[in-house]
Each structure stands twice: as structure tokens, then as C-alpha cells.
A = this chain, B = another copy of it.
């Protein structure tokens, strides 16, 4: 007698669900069993939603944000301030910035950041497209909204070097204490950057 296992399609589903970020073997099994046994699971609706996104959502050819139209909602919005261009690493960082309500310009997602350890060089990023946009759309300011880690720094410095050749002001988002963070929780690097970036009151 062999111990029973799930039927093959269910095992395959568990394996597929396990690939999703943040879903471990136990959650994958739990979700799969929910799909086959819960009354209101309607798993085909989930499958259709995945298929619809795979077929219908693509990166905006201009900024890289997600869209199901030729241009994304941000690039197509006539009320956007075209004088400011905010450079982010990936398209997933655009909505968090949008939700702050603090930026009304356009975006440019690089599709990653320079990281030799991950074999990502400048040639893998949408840098030529950025330079072309700056040349043709003539924004007054390019804001580098890149991470405060080593790769973010390297990417920012590399871009600043290239953009210096063009008639555009290049700025970088501030580094310092996070909101609600006390000095005692901040590490030394954060503190030294917060000091270096101090502003007049």
C-alpha cells in the first residue's frame, strides 16, 4: 500500500501557487484546497483575472507603468506637469509615489538598477529611452527617486553623470530620518545622511 497523495492536477496547482511571492508550501496547499472545496471559491474567476492581465496589461512604452491602453493613464493625462520627470527603479514604485499626492509630473521606470552582483549593467536598463525623453520632451528637472542602498546610489551617480551633458536640472529625493522614526532607532548612515541633508527652518 502506498500513501495517498493529491491527484496530479491538484499537485501541479500547489506547485504553481508556491511560485508566487510570499506563498510558501503550506499556504499554497491551503489556497489550492480552498479552491477545490470552498463553496464560494469560484477559482475560474481568479484564473480569468490572471489571464486577462497576462493578455491585456503591458508596460507603457513611454514610462514603463502598467497599462492596458497604448499610453498609461499618467502619460496620457493632459493635466500632468510635463516639466518634471521622476526616475524610479521599477514600475511598481510609481503608485506608492502617486499615493503621496506630492508629485504631479511624469515618471520613467528604469526596469531595475545597476547591480553587478545580479549581472545588471546600464545596458539592461531603459537609460537610452530616458536620455531620449530628456532630449525631446525637454523637462526642466529630472528627479532621481532611487533607493538609498548601494545599488541605488550607483545608479543615481551613473545617471547624474549622463544627464549632466543635457540642459536639465538633476535632483535626488532626500535621505534622512523616516517619518515617525526617533534618532535612537536610526542607524549611523541614516543619521549622517540626515545631518548632511539638513535644511534651513
> A residues bordering B, Cβ < 8 Å?
1-10, 12-13, 15-17, 19-23, 27, 30-37, 41, 43-54, 56-57, 59, 65-69, 72-74, 77, 79-80, 90-92, 94-95, 98-99, 101, 104
Contact = CB atoms under 8 A, between A and B. Distances in A.
Contact of A5 (B9, B19, B91, B95): B95
Contacts of A48: 47
A66 B31 contact: no
Contacts of A5: 73, 95, 98
Given A27-B22, A30-B22, A47-B50, A7 B67 contact: yes
Nearest to A15: B49
Contact of A12 (B43, B52, B98): B52
B22 A35 contact: no
A57 B10 contact: yes
A21 B46 CA distance: 13
A97 to B, nearest CB: 9
B46 A50 contact: yes
Nearest to A41: B19
